[in-house]
Amino acid sequence: MIDARAQVEQTLTAVLNRARNGNCPPRLAAAMDHAVFPGGARIRPQLCLAVGGACNADNPRVALAAAAAIELLHCASLVHDDLPCFDNAPLRRGQPSLHAAYGERLALLAGDTLIVLAFQALAESITESPARAAELFEIISRGAAVPAGLAAGQAWECEPRAGLRDYQRAKTGALFVAATMAGACAAGSAAEPWRELGERLGEACQVATEVRQGPPSAEKLKHLVGLAVDAIPACPMAAELRLLILLEARQYMPTVHSRRVA
Amino acid sequence: MIDARAQVEQTLTAVLNRARNGNCPPRLAAAMDHAVFPGGARIRPQLCLAVGGACNADNPRVALAAAAAIELLHCASLVHDDLPCFDNAPLRRGQPSLHAAYGERLALLAGDTLIVLAFQALAESITESPARAAELFEIISRGAAVPAGLAAGQAWECEPRAGLRDYQRAKTGALFVAATMAGACAAGSAAEPWRELGERLGEACQVATEVRQGPPSAEKLKHLVGLAVDAIPACPMAAELRLLILLEARQYMPTVHSRRVA
């Protein structure tokens, strides 16, 4: 996925450079940069592009706009999750979290700004394909917000009685579902059949982050990835997408690596 | 502006009801409601509709989507401004502020969600008029974010050296500029000539909130409103818009009322 990753970085850089153009408050500009770069694995935007590719997307600009929007929403949510009122996390990806580095006020504002920039980036798709753009806004808004998106997932933490399943599905799964469905929609394919793949990969990602706890999680991860690839709808490049997901998932499997080390 | 106000309330209600449909966390749903209703004067969305009307908007749905988006962004910014790390305000419009009523975490999430809903509402305009929608996203994103929008205005508070003018113009003026420009754009007119009216009314609004401090501010307000109506570009209903703004501004003038009372 080297090309996809490079395309994602390029698009995110362009979005941020454009936003900081002119008389932008310099510390806010720096805080936004800190929130988005160098970034993590960029799984969600690459997944969006991979699904778009598997559906033979005729216009890569639409999928790229969607991919960038999803990653910016993800970055914004990490910044706000790290704030003292939620996780109060001093570190993120081995660096000081945004509020640790720039203070709580700029972390709040940078997160807000990244949400706006996500939709500003997505709006690039309107001139390319209005019909797909309208559906993309719906898919990605629902992934980010309510009733069952990312913000809803966080909000379940604030309910006296919340189902763990509702919480995890919304918090981790929603942007994965947005990524697969947006990828298909950007390619002009029906989005709904791609929901299950997103849900499965969201679950798998949840388990992948726990995988260092030991072999049972690794087994569970394998099982979930198997379910995920089985959920790939019929599309021109289904076999390639299947292979891509399996290869990507292998990076999170501790088996090979730990045997070599141990 | 009674009809415009009713249309704004109706649209905001529809946006929120749709978002809370399904399995939305109930406390988040209630927090969003608290943030948006009963609302203040709804000046920005009514201004957007008034400019659209003055330009003889052929499709009121586009202007309404823009008006609702601008008001939701305004509500989100009030919620986040009231948070402990900024103003730590216990009250808003005579009611407990959102974090006072629902806690800091839900206030943070409700604000984030309202930003997303703003753009989800604006996306309604895509099917109505793709060309206008693309420009509306640009106008409203810039009003809300960076380099010189609402978030940038707040961020100037976090800079060691900030010009008061940059700060006030961005913080109060940006959404007024978005309102006038979006109103024109929604009607299919050129947006740029409407920037100055937004800037002038933003300044006037800033002064109006200080007007109870005494007559000098009232004089300044009259002067600014005069400059504002002089900045109305040529359009089919310019005279009506002029009258509307003058009538609206009179509500903020203490002169007549205070003479009667005093």
Q: CATH number, domain at A54?
A: 1.10.600.10
Chain B interface mutation, best of A27, A112, A135, A175, highest count of B Cβ atoms under 10 Å: A112
- Count of CB atoms situated within 10 Å of the CB of B37: 12
Chain A residues touching B19 at Cβ < 8 A: 145-147
Please state, in angstroms and rounded to a whole number, the distance separating the CA atoms of residues A44 and A173: 11
A83 near B CB under 8 A: yes
Whether residue A141 and residue B120 make contact (CB cut-off 8 A), yes or no, is yes
Chain A interface mutation, best of B112, B117, B129, highest count of A Cβ atoms under 10 Å: B112
Q: Is residue B260 part of a domain?
A: no
Cα dihedral B75, B78, B83, B86, rounded to 10, equals 150
Residues of chain B numbered 112-151 and touching chain A (CB < 8 Å): 112-113, 115-117, 119-120, 123, 126-127, 130-131, 133-134, 137-138, 141, 144-149, 151
Domain that holds residue B23: 2-252
Nearest by CB: A19 against B27, B130, B145: B145
Instruction: Report how many Cβ contacts below 8 Å link chain A to chain B.
Output: 190
pLDDT score of A211 more than 70? no
Chain B residues touching A141 at Cβ < 8 A: 116-117, 119-120, 123
pLDDT score of B252 more than 90? no
Give me the number of domains chain B comprises: 1
Q: Kindly report, residue by residue over A217-247, the tens digit of the pLDDT.
A: 888 889 999 999 999 999 999 999 999 999 9
Q: Kindly report, residue by residue over A56-109, the tens digit of the pLDDT.
A: 999 999 999 999 999 999 999 999 999 999 999 999 989 999 999 999 999 999
Nearest by CB: B106 against A112, A148, A155: A155
Residue A91 DSSP SS3: strand
Q: Kindly report, residue by residue over B195-240, the tens digit of the pLDDT.
A: 999 999 999 988 887 766 677 688 888 999 999 999 999 999 999 9
- Distance separating the N- and C-terminal Cα atoms of chain B: 29
The pTM (predicted TM-score) of the whole model is: 0.94
Q: How far is A32 from chain B (nearest CA, A)?
A: 11
Q: How far is B215 from chain A (nearest CA, A)?
A: 35
Q: What is the pLDDT of residue A255?
A: 57
Chain A interface mutation, best of B126, B136, B150, highest count of A Cβ atoms under 10 Å: B126
Helices then strands, counting H and E runs in chain A, come out as 15, 2
Chain B residues touching A159 at Cβ < 8 A: 25-27
Please state, in angstroms and rounded to a whole number, the distance separating the CA atoms of residues A257 and B64: 57
Whether residue B152 and residue A105 make contact (CB cut-off 8 A), yes or no, is no
Q: Kindly report, residue by residue over B115-137, the tens digit of the pLDDT.
A: 999 999 999 999 999 999 999 99
Least confident window among A173-177, A228-232, B138-142, B247-251: B247-251
pLDDT score of B261 more than 60? no
Cα angle value B3/B21/B42 (rounded, 5°): 30
Whether residue A147 and residue B117 make contact (CB cut-off 8 A), yes or no, is no
The residue of chain B nearest to residue A112, with distances taken between CA atoms, is B112
Nearest by CB: B105 against A86, A116, A119: A86
Cα distances (Å, whole numbers) of residue B23 to A95, A124, A141, A167, B31: 36, 31, 16, 11, 15
Highest mean pLDDT among A105-119, A246-260, B151-165: A105-119
ipTM of the complex model: 0.94
B100, B90 contact by CB (below 8 A): yes
Q: Is residue A68 part of a domain?
A: yes
B62 near A CB under 8 A: no
Q: Is residue A260 part of a domain?
A: no
Nearest by CB: A106 against B25, B76, B155: B155
Please state, in angstroms and rounded to a whole number, the distance separating the CA atoms of residues A6 and A10: 6
Q: Is residue B261 part of a domain?
A: no
Nearest by Cα to B117 from B161, B55, B54, B69? B69
Q: Kindly report, residue by residue over B38-67, the tens digit of the pLDDT.
A: 999 999 999 999 999 999 999 999 999 999
B71, B42 contact by CB (below 8 A): yes
Long-range contacts of B230-236 (CB under 8 A, 24+ apart): B231/B196, B231/B197, B231/B199, B231/B200, B232/B54, B232/B197, B233/B184, B233/B193, B233/B194, B233/B197, B235/B54, B235/B55, B235/B56, B235/B184, B235/B189, B236/B54, B236/B55, B236/B56
Checking DSSP bridges between strand A91-92 and strand A95-96, what pairing results, if any?
Answer: antiparallel
Chain A residues touching B139 at Cβ < 8 A: none
Please state, in angstroms and rounded to a whole number, the distance separating the CA atoms of residues A239 and B260: 81
Please state, in angstroms and rounded to a whole number, the distance separating the CA atoms of residues A36 and A33: 5
Whether residue B80 and residue A20 make contact (CB cut-off 8 A), yes or no, is no
Q: Is residue A262 part of a domain?
A: no
B18 near A CB under 8 A: no
Whether residue B148 and residue A23 make contact (CB cut-off 8 A), yes or no, is yes
Q: Is residue B192 part of a domain?
A: yes
Please state, in angstroms and rounded to a whole number, the distance separating the CA atoms of residues A38 and A33: 9
Question: Which are the contacts of B71, defined by CB distance < 8 A and separation ≥ 6?
Answer: B8, B12, B36, B39, B42, B44, B45
Q: How far is A167 from chain B (nearest CA, A)?
A: 10
Question: Which are the contacts of B227, defined by CB distance < 8 A and separation ≥ 6?
Answer: B200
pLDDT score of B21 more than 90? no
Question: Which are the contacts of A98, defined by CB distance < 8 A and separation ≥ 6?
Answer: A31, A34, A35, A79, A82, A92, A106, A107, A110, A111
Q: Is residue A137 part of a domain?
A: yes
Locate all alpha helices (DSSP H) within chain B, ordered by sequence: 2-20, 26-36, 43-54, 60-82, 98-102, 104-122, 124-128, 130-144, 150-155, 164-168, 174-186, 195-208, 215-230, 238-250, 255-261
Q: Is residue B193 part of a domain?
A: yes
DSSP A212: G
pLDDT score of A166 more than 60? yes
List phi, psi (to 5°) of A96: -60, 140
Whether residue B116 and residue A112 make contact (CB cut-off 8 A), yes or no, is no
Nearest by Cα to A153 from B97, B112, B14, B75? B112
DSSP line for B145-179: STTTSHHHHHHGGGSSS--HHHHHIIIIIHHHHHH
Whether residue B109 and residue A20 make contact (CB cut-off 8 A), yes or no, is no
pLDDT score of A148 more than 90? no
Chain B residues touching A149 at Cβ < 8 A: 116
Q: Kindly report, residue by residue over A20-36, the tens digit of the pLDDT.
A: 888 899 999 999 999 99
